[in-house]
Amino acid sequence: MKIGNYDTDEKVLIIAEIGNNHEGSYALAEEMIGLAAEAEVDAVKFQTIVPERLVTSRQTERIARFKRFQLTYQEFEKLADVAANEKVLFLSTPFDIDSAQFLNDLVPAFKIASGDNNFFPLMEVIAQTGKPTILSTGFMDIADVKKSVDFIRNIWNKNNFDQELALLHCVSTYPTPPEQANLLAIKELQNIVQTVGYSDHTLGIEAAVLSVALGARIIEKHFTIDKNYSDFLDHKLSANPQEMKELVETVRAASEYLRSDSKILQEGEKKAIESTRRSIVAMNDLSAGTKISMDDLDWVRPGGGLSPGEEEKIVGKSLLKDKKRGDLITLADIKNLLSKVDN
């Protein structure tokens, strides 16, 4: 999947999910982008929320709580510039249609949150942009996933958009206990789309690293400046700068172990193969004219001669010349073979 100049086929995309851990402070949001960049993530992601478009007006306390975390559209524009200067991708999840339309000029791809993966009017607006889209799959079973995937793809097809959709395996429990992480679901999602990732809500980095071994090409991990920054729960569930750096380093190291899914001979093996493989040799001293039997053969290192499994090429045939114990027996040493070649 290509997002801007980034190709997840070449390198796992690691997203620092800042979300709302800036708590409405532009200065903190800007600082966190810098810290995420220092941890060598590939992207930072925020959440663009207009509380009155997210929560019913009857829940005034809930709206007031969300307003604590609200940044203005102008602040998001500035944060996009900060991210560009730090050379990390800027992403933000829209939680209403107007925000999706606003973000279209700022983001190279859209991310749809688990809570909105059945919010079809929002998904339609996003799909109509024709941009790469990442769909988080919390709160879904596989039938739900297919329904939302088909919805987005149908819009793309109608508009002749040749675009890519990624699915993030996600369990929307905060924190997610290990026994509920269900990482093997990544394999099932790979039957639906080419690019699958993992939105990690577990504590620690182990699940994220394991997901890469299962084929995840996008890792999203919540990020905080300090786990004890405030009583906002997400801080304690998030990776701090040191943990995020460790996550990046460990995922990169894991990726080196997972370069190919094909069983092929590796370069290091090519250098060692001849000294490690066996060749067919004479078990004892043999005279010219000897009709070779299996009892006359031994199999020893190094390789380079006839290999085990090629005995039928020489058994029952006569030697052209004497052989000492341990000498290679080759096709050129066999009388019957030469006569066939001469004919």
Q: Per-residue b/e over 122-137, b at no fewer than 16 CB within 10 Å?
A: bbebbbbbebbbbbbb
CB 87 within 8 A of CB 37: yes
Burial bucket for residue 158 (CB in 10 Å: 0-12, 13-18, 19+):
exposed
Rounded to 10°, the helix 26-38/241-257 angle is 40
The answer to whether 239 touches 247, Cβ cutoff 8 Å, is: yes
Q: Which long-range contacts (CB under 8 A, 24 or more apart) does 188-194 make?
A: 188/142, 189/137, 189/145, 190/215, 192/145, 192/146, 192/149, 192/167, 193/149, 193/164, 193/165, 193/166, 193/167, 194/1, 194/164
Residue linked to tokens 């620690």:
204
**Nearest C-alpha neighbor of 5 from the set 43, 35, 33:** 43
Token pair in block for residue 23: 């708590």
Q: Which two tokens stand for residue 275?
A: 């000294």
- Going along the chain from its start, the domains and CATH numbers come out as 2-257 (3.20.20.70), 267-342 (3.90.1210.10)
User: What Cα–Cα distance (Å) separates residue 112 from each residue in 26, 189, 304?
Assistant: 23, 16, 58
Strands (E), the chain: 2-3, 6-7, 13-19, 43-48, 89-94, 110-112, 133-136, 165-170, 195-200, 218-222, 279-282, 297-300
Q: Give me the helices (H) in 39-169, please.
A: 51-54, 60-67, 73-85, 97-103, 120-128, 142-158
Q: What is the dihedral of CA 79, 83, 84, 85, to 10 degrees?
A: 100
pLDDT tens per residue across all 343 residues of the chain: 999 999 999 999 999 999 999 999 999 999 999 999 999 999 999 999 999 999 999 999 999 999 999 999 999 999 999 999 999 999 999 999 999 999 999 999 999 999 999 999 999 999 999 999 999 999 999 999 999 999 999 999 999 999 999 999 999 999 999 999 999 999 999 999 999 999 999 999 999 999 999 999 999 999 999 999 999 999 999 999 999 999 999 999 999 999 888 999 999 999 999 999 999 999 999 999 999 999 999 999 999 999 999 999 999 999 999 999 999 999 999 986 444 444 4
Q: Which residues have CB under 8 Å from 123's CB, separation 6+? A: 112, 116, 117, 148, 151, 152
Residue 43 contacts residue 244 (beta carbons within 8 Å):
no
Q: What is each CA distance from 211 to 166, 170, 277, in whole angstroms?
A: 15, 11, 36
CA dihedral 69, 74, 75, 78 (to 10 degrees): 160
Amino acid at 1: M
